Amino acid sequence: MASEATLRQVLERLEKSLASLEDAVDLRLEHEGDFAEAEEEVQRMNMDRRKLAQELDASEGRAERLEAANKEVSRRLVAAMESIRTVLDR
């Protein structure tokens, strides 16, 4: 009888250990899933950052072209105004 009780106790301890191991594995898998989701989010954010950087570069280029065109228009307006003054002064 004592050996049956001991065997029963050992089996109960084994079952508890297996349940604890299963819980630990489930927790680990859950954490790995969370980590994978976080890694995917970081990748999405990096892609968004690259896209925004490209759009910013394009906008800066467009702003530089507009500024150059504005300067050219201003130069032409000054020249036209000087021509008009010259004609009016005659």
CB atoms within 10 A of CB 18: 10
pTM over 0.75: no
Predicted pLDDT at 1: 61
CA 21, CA 77: separation in Å to the nearest integer? 82
Give me the torsion for CA of 62, 67, 72, 75, rounded to 10°.
170
pLDDT exceeds cutoff 90 at 57: yes
CA-based angle 49:55:59, to the nearest 5?
140
Predicted pLDDT at 4: 78
Q: What is the mean pLDDT of residues 55-64?
A: 95
CB atoms within 10 A of CB 33: 10
Among all chains, which residue has been given the structure tokens 């892609």?
47
